[in-house]
Structure 1
Amino acid sequence: MEEAKASLIKRNRFSRTASHTHDELHSFRTWLQWMCVDQSNIYTATLSWLIFIIFTFIVPSLSHFYLACSDCDNRHARPYDTLVQLSLSSVATLSFVSLSQFVRVYGLRRFLFFDKLCDESEIVRKGYTDQLNRSLKILSIFVLPCFAAESAYKIWWYTSGATAIPFLGNVIVSDTFACVLELCSWLYRTVVFFLVCVLFRLICCLQILRLQDFAQVFQVDSDVESVLREHLRIRRHLKIISHRYRVFILLALILVTVSQLASLLNTTRSSAELSIFKSGELALVSVSLLAGLMILLRSATRITHKAQGVTCLAAKWHVCATIDAFEPLEADTETPTVGVVGDPVFHEASSSDYDDVGSEEDELDNCKLIPAYAYSTISFQKRQALVTYFENNRAGITVFGFMLDRTSIHTIVTIEMSLVLWLLGKTIGIS
C-alpha cells in the first residue's frame, strides 16, 4: 500500500501542467506551436515531425539536385551548396531530436525548472521570468540579420534569371514558390538550432540568479548546515543540466568544427573561386553556427565561473569572521596595532576604489570585505570545514566529466586554431 502511494506521489510530481492564460509559459508555448516544434500531444507531435522532415531533408534535397543550376553563368553557380545544406541539416537534426527528447521526457515546465521556482526567492522568480521573456528577443537578434542577408541573396539569385522552373506553368510563380520554400527551410533549420542554444542559456541564467541569491547567506547570520544544504541543491541542479545537455554540446561542437574545417578545405583549394556570390552563403552559415556554439560555450563558462566564485566568497567570509573574532582582544592592549587603529580608515579608503570597477560585478565577484559582526555564532572549525568542502567540490557545467570553464574554453580554441593552421599549411603553404 505504501509503495503504491509513493508511486502515485511520484507520478503526480512529474506530471505536466496544462497551459493557461496566467501561466508563465503560455506565450512561450504559443510561439513553439507557431514554429511547429510543439509536441505536447500526438497531433502537434505528428505535425512537428512532418514539418521537420520537409524543411530539413526534402526541400534542401530538391534545392540541391533540381535548383542548383549547373549550367548557369559564373556568378550564379553554387559550388558550396552541398556543404551549406549538410551543415544546416546536420545541426538542425541534432537540435530537433534533442528538443523533442527534452520535451517528451521532462515536459517543457520541468525541463525549464519552472516547477522548482516555488522554492526560490521572489528576486530569483522575477529575474527568471524576465529572462524567459528576453529569450525570444535574443533569438530574434541572432536570427533576423542572418535571415535578411539570406533573403537578399536568394531573391537576387532568382530574380536575376539564374533558373526557370516551369513546374507550375508560370516562370514567375514557380521561382517565387521555390524561393519561399528555400527561405522557409533555411529559417526553420537556423531557428531550431538557436532555440536549443537559447534555452540552454535561459537555464544557465536561472542557476546564475540562484548563485547570486545564495551569496546573500554570507551577509547574514546563517548556520553552516543551511549553507551546505543550499549549495548541495545547486550542485545537484547543475549536474542535471550537464547530464541533459552533454550529448548536445559535444555533438554540436563536433559538427560545427567539422563544418568549419570542411569549409576551409574547400575554400583554400587552388581551383577554388571565391566571391560574395559564390561563397557568401557559406560564410553566412559558418557565422550562424559559430554564433550558436558561442552561446552554448559562453553560458556554460559563465555559470561555471559563478559557481566556482562561491569558493572565493566563502574563503573571504571565513577570513573576515576570523579577524573579527580577534579584534576585541587586540583592542584591549595599551599599544593598539596599526590594523586595529586604521581599520575604519581602511574601509573608507578602499571603498573609493570600488567605484572604478563598474556595474559588472555582483555578490560573487566583488572584492569588498564582508562585515563579520554577525558571525560570532559560527565556530572557526565549522567555517574552515565549509571552506574546505567548497574547495574540494567545485560546481559547474560538465560534459562527460570535462568541466566547461575558462581554461577548457581556451583549450578548445587552441585545438581548433591548431587544426586550422595545420590545414592552411597543407593547402596554401602557411607554416
Structure 2
Amino acid sequence: MADEKAALLNSAKNRAFARSVSHAQDELQGFRTWLKWLCVDQSNPWTTALSWFVFVGFAIVVPALSHFVLACADCDSLHSRPYDAVAQLSLSGIAALSFVCLSGFVRKYGLRRFLFFDKLCDESETVRKGYTKQFNRSMKLLFIFVLPCFAAESAYKIWWYSSGGTRIPFLGNVIVSNTVACILELCSWFYRTVVFFLVCVLFRLICYLQILRLQDFAQVFQVDSDVESVLREHLRIRRHLRIISHRYRSFILLALIFITASQFASLLMTTRSSDVNIYHSGELAVCSLSLLAGLLILLRSATRITHKAQAVTCLAAKWHVCATIDSFDTAETETPVARVSDEQIFTGSSDGSSDLDDVGDEEDELDNSKFLPAYAFSTISFQKRQALVTYFENNRAGITIYGFMLDRTSLHTIFGIELSLVLWLLGKTIGIS
C-alpha cells in the first residue's frame, strides 16, 4: 500500500514537472514569437546574428547618421536640434545596457530558467495560474508604456521632417529622402525604447512571481503548520530573492547611474541655453520621460517585493502573539464569566469587521490588521514560535543591490531626486512648472 501511494505521488510530481519542461508548444511559444518580431531573440546562431545586426543598425548606426549627416546646419530657429546629441546618447546608452544584459541572461540561464518557469512544478496551482496570467499580459503591459511615448515622438519627427527640417536628397528626391529618414529614426527610437522597457517588464514579471509565492506562503499561518516546514519554505523564497538580486543588481545600478547622469546632462544643457522651447527640446523631454518610466518600473517592483517579504515578519509576530494569547486563555479557568465578556469585547474590537468598509483593498494577506485564528496553534510550543519570529526579525528578505536593500525609504529618496530633475527639465523644455 505504501509503495502504491509513493508511485502515485511520483507520477503526480512527474506530471507537474512535465508542464515546466520546454517544448515547441509550451507557455513561452507566443513570447518567443514576440522576441523574434522585436529582433531580440537569440535562441539559435542565426537569430543571434540577426539580433546583433539590428542592434548595431538601430542603436548605433542610425542615431549616428541622424546626428552627423541629417543635421540641418542652416535651419531656422524652429528646426535646429541643439539637444539631439544628449537625447541620442541617452537612448543608445540605455538600450546598449539593456541589450547586453538581456543577451547575457538568455545565453547564461536560458529563457525558461531565467523566467523561473522551471521552478513552477514546486509551486501551488494558485501561483502557477497567477504567474501564467501575468506572463501572458506582460507584452501588453510593455506596449502600454511604449506606445504613448512613441506617439509623441512620431508627432515630433513627422512635424520636423514635413515642415522642412532637412533638405538632403540622398535618394535623389527630397520627399522620398525625408520619408525614409523619418521612418528609420522612428524605428531606431522604437527599438531602443522597447529593448529597455522589455528588460524592465521582465524584472517586474519575475518579482510578481515572488509576490505570488509570498502571498501563498502567508497561508501557512492560517493552518496547523510546523515550524520546520515554514522555515524551509522561507529559506527557499530568500534563496530565489538572492538569485534575482544577483542577476539584476548590475543592471539596476548602472541604469540608475546612467539615467541620473542623463538627467543632469540635460539640465546642464538646457540651463546654459537662453532659447529653450518645445520645438528645440521636445525630443529630449520625451526621452527623459521614457527613461524615468522604465526606472520607476524597476524600483517599484523591487520595493514592492521587499515590502511583501518584510511583512512576513509582522505576520509571524502576530501569529506568535495570537497563539500565545490562546494558550493562556485555555490554561486559565478562573472567573469564566469575566473572561468571556472580555473575549467578546476583545474579539469585537479587534476583528476589524466594523472597519472593513474603511479599509477597502488596502490590506492583503501579508499586511492586515485582522487577528489570526488561534485554533491551530496548540501543537506548536512557545519556544519554537519565538525562535521562528527571531529568525524573521534577523533575516529580512528582499531585493538588494550589493547589500543595499531596495525598500520604500530608498524608493522615496530616489524618486524625489529623479522627479525633481525631470520636472525641472520639463519646466525648461515644454513649460511645465
TM-score, normalised to structure 2, is 0.90
Whether the 8 Å contact between 1:311 and 1:387 is mirrored in structure 2 is yes
* Structure 1 residue 177 displacement after superposition: 0.7
SS at match of 1:87: helix
5+ unaligned residues in a row in structure 2: which ranges? 1-16, 426-433
Query: 2:121 aligned with 1:100, yes or no?
Result: no
For residues 359-393 of structure 1, the C-alpha deviation after alignment (integer angstroms, 9 at most, x for no partner) is: 23210011100001111000000000000000000
Whether the 8 Å contact between 1:218 and 1:317 is mirrored in structure 2 is yes
* Structure 1 residue 165 displacement after superposition: 2.4
Query: 2:213 aligned with 1:207, yes or no?
Result: no
Query: 2:246 aligned with 1:243, yes or no?
Result: yes
In 1, Cα distance between the equivalents of 2:395 and 2:84?
A: 48
For residues 1-27 of structure 1, the C-alpha deviation after alignment (integer angstroms, 9 at most, x for no partner) is: xxxxxxxxxxxx9xx965422x11110
Partner of 1:426: none
Moved more, 411-420 or 80-89: 411-420
In 2, Cα distance between the equivalents of 1:181 and 1:334?
A: 82
Evaluate the alpha carbon distance shift between residue 334 and residue 393 of structure 1 in structure 2; reply closer, same or farther with a 3 A threshold. closer
Residue of 24, 33, 45 corresponding to 1:20? 24
SS at match of 1:164: coil
* Structure 1 residue 408 displacement after superposition: 1.6
Matched to 2:299, the amino acid is L
Partner of 1:345: 348
In 1, Cα distance between the equivalents of 2:377 and 2:257?
A: 49
Identity %: 75
Moved more, 234-243 or 274-283: 274-283
SS at match of 1:342: helix
Partner of 1:253: 256
Residue of 25, 32, 52 corresponding to 1:29? 32
* Structure 1 residue 340 displacement after superposition: 3.1
Matched to 2:413, the amino acid is T
In 2, Cα distance between the equivalents of 1:201 and 1:242?
A: 13
Matched to 1:77, the amino acid is S
Whether the 8 Å contact between 2:267 and 2:421 is mirrored in structure 1 is no
Query: 2:287 aligned with 1:289, yes or no?
Result: no
Partner of 1:304: 306
SS at match of 1:168: coil
| Matched ranges for 1:48-67 at <5 A | 48-67=51-70
| Matched ranges for 1:102-117 at <5 A | 102-117=105-120
Whether the 8 Å contact between 2:323 and 2:374 is mirrored in structure 1 is yes
Whether the 8 Å contact between 1:91 and 1:252 is mirrored in structure 2 is yes
In 1, Cα distance between the equivalents of 2:213 and 2:199?
A: 22
Partner of 1:195: 198
Whether the 8 Å contact between 1:266 and 1:272 is mirrored in structure 2 is no
For residues 80-137 of structure 1, the C-alpha deviation after alignment (integer angstroms, 9 at most, x for no partner) is: 0000000000000000000000000000000000000010001100000111112111
Evaluate the alpha carbon distance shift between residue 417 and residue 177 of structure 1 in structure 2; reply closer, same or farther with a 3 A threshold. closer
In 1, Cα distance between the equivalents of 2:104 and 2:118?
A: 18
Partner of 2:321: 319
Partner of 1:397: 399
Moved more, 328-337 or 51-60: 328-337
TM-score, normalised to structure 1, is 0.90
Residue of 274, 277, 285 corresponding to 1:275? 277
Evaluate the alpha carbon distance shift between residue 347 and residue 185 of structure 1 in structure 2; reply closer, same or farther with a 3 A threshold. same
In 2, Cα distance between the equivalents of 1:225 and 1:274?
A: 64
Whether the 8 Å contact between 2:292 and 2:418 is mirrored in structure 1 is no
* Structure 1 residue 32 displacement after superposition: 0.2
In 2, Cα distance between the equivalents of 1:80 and 1:195?
A: 26
In 1, Cα distance between the equivalents of 2:406 and 2:295?
A: 13
Partner of 1:91: 94
* Structure 1 residue 341 displacement after superposition: 4.9
Partner of 2:431: none
In 1, Cα distance between the equivalents of 2:357 and 2:323?
A: 25
CA root-mean-square deviation: 2.0
Moved more, 324-333 or 77-86: 324-333
Evaluate the alpha carbon distance shift between residue 310 and residue 154 of structure 1 in structure 2; reply closer, same or farther with a 3 A threshold. same
Partner of 1:222: 225
SS at match of 1:277: helix
Partner of 1:429: none
* Structure 1 residue 414 displacement after superposition: 5.4
In 2, Cα distance between the equivalents of 1:221 and 1:133?
A: 35
| Matched ranges for 1:407-426 at <5 A | 407-413=409-415
Evaluate the alpha carbon distance shift between residue 67 and residue 287 of structure 1 in structure 2; reply closer, same or farther with a 3 A threshold. same
* Structure 1 residue 161 displacement after superposition: 1.4
Moved more, 329-338 or 73-82: 329-338
Instruction: Give the paired residue count.
Output: 406
* Structure 1 residue 266 displacement after superposition: 0.8
In 1, Cα distance between the equivalents of 2:81 and 2:336?
A: 87
* Structure 1 residue 421 displacement after superposition: 12
Whether the 8 Å contact between 1:317 and 1:370 is mirrored in structure 2 is yes
| Matched ranges for 1:124-163 at <5 A | 124-163=127-166
Matched to 1:276, the amino acid is I
* Structure 1 residue 335 displacement after superposition: 5.6
